[in-house]
Chain A
Amino acid sequence: MSSNPREDQLRELFGELKRADERETPAFESDWVAAGSAKKHALFAELHYARLAAAVLVIVGAVALLSHERSEKRSIALTTSSEPASKMDSTVEPTPVSLDTWQSPTAFLLKEPDEWDQASRPSDGSSLFPATQPQPRHST
């Protein structure tokens, strides 16, 4: 690529720089060994993070399980405490209500208007007051 004297001069300067750099080049072996040990270190670090992640997962799982058990116990206690006092006093053990059928006392507040109890709504044309039977008139 060179024939130009100016380029030759640049090439010479670069060549000199190259020779100086080559004298300062670290041994390949040391860099290769350093890279190898860095690889081992990276593997160890990855393993360390994996262990840490597993430990966190176990702790989170345990906490979730405990909180679930606690909430289950609380719901059973709520059901049994809402029983009438006479029953509570009796010697008969209250039967625990299953979680599937249990409802909060305020659950009706969450219902849509369409879901309200139809029986409690007055129908069209009906009176709000109970109808009275007309009394037969007695002529005296």
Chain B
Amino acid sequence: MVAREYKYLCSDPGQELIRQDIRDHNLDRIIVAACSPHLHEHTFRQAVGQAGLNPYFFHMVNLREHDAWVHTDKAAATAKAMDLVRAAGRRVKWHEPLGPRQVPIHPDVLVVGGGIAGIDAALTMANAGKHVYLVEREATIGGHMAQFDKTFPTLDCAACILTPKMTAVRSHRNITLWTWSEVQKVEGYVGNFSVTVRRKPRYVLEDLCVGCLECIQACVYKQAKVPDAFNLGLGKRKPIYIPFPQAVPQVVVIDPETCIEFKSGKCRKTCVEVCAERHAIDFQQKEEIQTIQVGTIVLATGFEVFDATRIPYYGYGLYPNVYTALEIERLVNASGPTGGDIVMRDGRKPETVGIVHCVGSRDEHTNRYCSRVCCMYSLKLAHLIKEKTGAEVYSFYIDIRAPGKAFEEFYNRVAEEGVVFVRGKVADIYPSDGGRRLILQVEDTLLSMVRKIPVDMVVLSTGLEPRPDADEVRRLFNIGCSREGFFLERHPKLAPVSTFADGIFVAGCCQAPKDIPDTVAQSGAAAAQALALIDAGMVDLEPNTAHVVEGACSGCKTCIPLCPYQAISFAEEKRALINEVLCKGCGTCVAACPSGSIRQNLFEDQQIFEEIEGVLAYA
């Protein structure tokens, strides 16, 4: 028995210390009592293996996260440490030599979500020669970025930098683009996922439609009447539509809720007439279910804008001239519902505008976190509004967060352009002057006085939230969510794109609010991680599988219905038989087997009993 103390065992010299001891003293079991096995179990197993000892003769004790960092009573913490190490000593004696399970990695990739994060990840991996399925729920890729006008701090036109990437996706021979589609089910494990995708019917055949848009022109609805989701209801569309002019794919969609043919069956179908050569319209189209095999998955499902009606005293939805920031993006955009003119709902042009920061962020009543992008986009909107209208612009802020490259300089520029900054959180917004003006009541904390500032138009800088169905989506992929509901990364510092499901990665705002440069960086990281797996060709799985003890099973069938992966079969031998490749090592069957005939590697009954006895030896 050798006992050593060393400050950083996970470092190279630390690992060498272990290897040397194994060689010098012919050790046959190794225990490291340090941090969480989630961090370095793998590291130490490797070191042990390099010294010629089976890596599974190693066991890690968590004395840091579970003891030293959480207890103040030193004597009690030490007694606890002794209990834990003693338990490990008794347990590891019963470890068996094991080998890792190796499974091959299917080279195809699935990217879920076609915003800038998904597009960028897909292009990177497709350029590396991998076949990528890009599945997007909307009828076009582009995501929220397609709705923006200019991007901070350079004021690049969002569409100009985005659309070439969208086109590249469309024309890339390694990308299969499925829009108007959703993932329904995911089965399998890293390297071998089987994904079922539901392709919703557009009632327009994608292969035949060339995007001439004549059907929209010809529609019996002479005027567009349906509120247009892309323009957030500020504009209108017809029942047959394309989400926005640069949509990819350039294929129209028919909305069965508003199309007369679907509602009454008695439409003249001028759209079909005008598509006489291509015959691209098919009212009988049904949804299609497709199942694909992929080795890795990147989730890039994006964010949802905070619903400003949750703060009723800001008057969104109540007073017509209160807008969200995204709505302003659409107004300011030349291809938006007002052709780029900033015109309010009552038709007037605003002469004074108030921009309210932190709506749904940094707020204990809604979301505690900071949404990271709102200060910058508020500055951008302030600049654009002032430029387009010459209006007096007020920005009501708590702090100005401008940490990125050229961000602070942009803030200075906007301040120099004459935007008025008031440091105070707006407490109330109410109409005056017969509703023509809105009063923003705020405590100006720099002047130490309450001010009531009348404006014509209010812009609410709404924060970023997880998608409303994020919880259901993450269950499909067997990953977790953080407290706020964003997808949970494996480690906030060192593994920000991995998840606890091997082979599944996250990128973009679905993981946490962030701006476009960070999103693109993260999607590159996710692509790199996926590529690393694929190019390795094989992946090692934990050998903590269950197996039936030879000759012990009586065929009682208790275990068969308990395995969620259908890894236990019965028919052939009339005995339970566990498929080692399908077994994920949960151990449920082991606990249930009434005759004790199933064992689990690394979590044997004997090992756990020893641990229990070890921690209680001095009780």
Q: Verify that A and B bind, or say they do not.
A: no
Q: Which chain A residues have a beta carbon within 8 Å of chain B's beta carbons?
A: none
**B-to-A contact residues, CB < 8 Å:** none
